[in-house]
């Protein structure tokens, strides 16, 4: 009986001590809150801080874009995030021309020059693609080898090679590989108007495929026949 009473008294004492601790903590918190000065902002200050935040965000955005744009002017930067097959393509570019891409490198054409469209819009699109790739790389979600999601479009080539659009078709000048001079560029527009699955510049002029030379304008003779057959079939010239 005395033991139960002793336990009961001890429990009450512990409860009292705990309640005193809680009350003391609450009083200390209230006292600290009262000692802090009240912070109030005027509408003018709110607008000023908001404007600073917006300008700061724009500065970081423009600065980040400018930094990325400057970095992507260096082929080594592009190759630093890519593995195969891009690293092989970059290593090729350091030596003599063996494909269309390395031939361009000899003319000081950079990766970004071919892998971006015309004008500001084309460059911004390439920057966004690069930012997505960089995020995947640094977050560990990048797939290697990287799948080809954005092909080199005709506009990427035409911005430097617009003369092919006005090349004259001269049947009197023929070559064993290409036939009459200029007929492939002359009829390319008709092919595209006739067939939605028609080829484009890189369908014949592969950027990184081996087996072509400058003499054949970097067209691989062992694979060009398929494109010729498709065009002739679409235009009824079989």
User: 111 and 73 in contact (C-beta within 8 Å)?
Assistant: no
The reported pLDDT for the residue numbered 103 is 92
The reported pLDDT for the residue numbered 12 is 65
* Model pLDDT for residues 70-122, shown as the tens digit of each residue: 666 778 777 776 667 888 888 888 888 999 999 999 898 988 888 888 888 88
Compute the distance between CA of residue 124 and CA of residue 69 in angstroms, rounded to an integer.
9
**Ranges in the chain, pLDDT < 50:** 2-4, 7
* End-to-end Cα, the chain, rounded Å: 113
DSSP calls for 97-161: --SHHHHHHHTT--HHHHSS-SHHHHHHHHHHHHHHHHHHHHHT---SSPP--S---HHHHHTT-
Enumerate the domain spans of the chain.
61-147, 161-234
Positive or negative: CA dihedral 120, 122, 125, 126? negative
Compute the distance between CA of residue 147 and CA of residue 133 in angstroms, rounded to an integer.
11
Compute the distance between CA of residue 186 and CA of residue 231 in angstroms, rounded to an integer.
12
Compute the distance between CA of residue 10 and CA of residue 229 in angstroms, rounded to an integer.
99
Give, in order, the Cα–Cα distances in Å from 55 to each of 58, 63, 124, 178. 5, 12, 21, 57
Q: Regarding beta strands 179-181 and 170-175, do their DSSP bridges make them parallel or antiparallel, or are they unpaired? A: antiparallel
């Amino acid at each position: 009986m005395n033991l139960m009473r002793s336990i009961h008294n001890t429990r009450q004492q512990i409860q009292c001590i705990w309640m005193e601790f809680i009350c003391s903590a609450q009083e200390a918190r209230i006292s600290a809150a009262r000692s802090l000065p009240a912070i109030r902002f005027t509408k003018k200050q709110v607008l000023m801080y908001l404007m600073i935040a917006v300008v700061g965000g724009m500065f970081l955005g423009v600065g980040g874009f400018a930094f990325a744009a400057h970095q992507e002017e260096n082929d080594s930067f592009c190759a630093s995030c890519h593995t195969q097959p891009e690293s092989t393509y970059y290593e090729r570019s350091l030596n003599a021309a063996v494909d269309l891409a390395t031939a361009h490198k000899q003319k000081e054409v950079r990766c970004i020059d071919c892998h971006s469209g015309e004008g500001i819009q084309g460059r911004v699109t390439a920057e966004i693609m690069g930012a997505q790739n960089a995020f995947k790389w640094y977050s560990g979600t990048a797939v290697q080898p990287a799948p080809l999601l954005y092909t080199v479009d005709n506009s990427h080539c035409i911005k430097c090679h617009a003369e092919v659009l006005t090349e004259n078709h001269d049947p009197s000048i023929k070559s064993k590989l290409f036939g009459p001079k200029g007929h492939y560029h002359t009829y390319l527009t008709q092919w595209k108007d006739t067939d939605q699955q028609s080829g484009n510049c890189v369908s014949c002029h592969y950027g990184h495929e081996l087996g072509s030379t400058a003499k054949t304008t970097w067209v691989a003779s062992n694979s060009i026949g398929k494109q010729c057959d498709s065009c002739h079939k679409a235009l009824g010239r079989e």
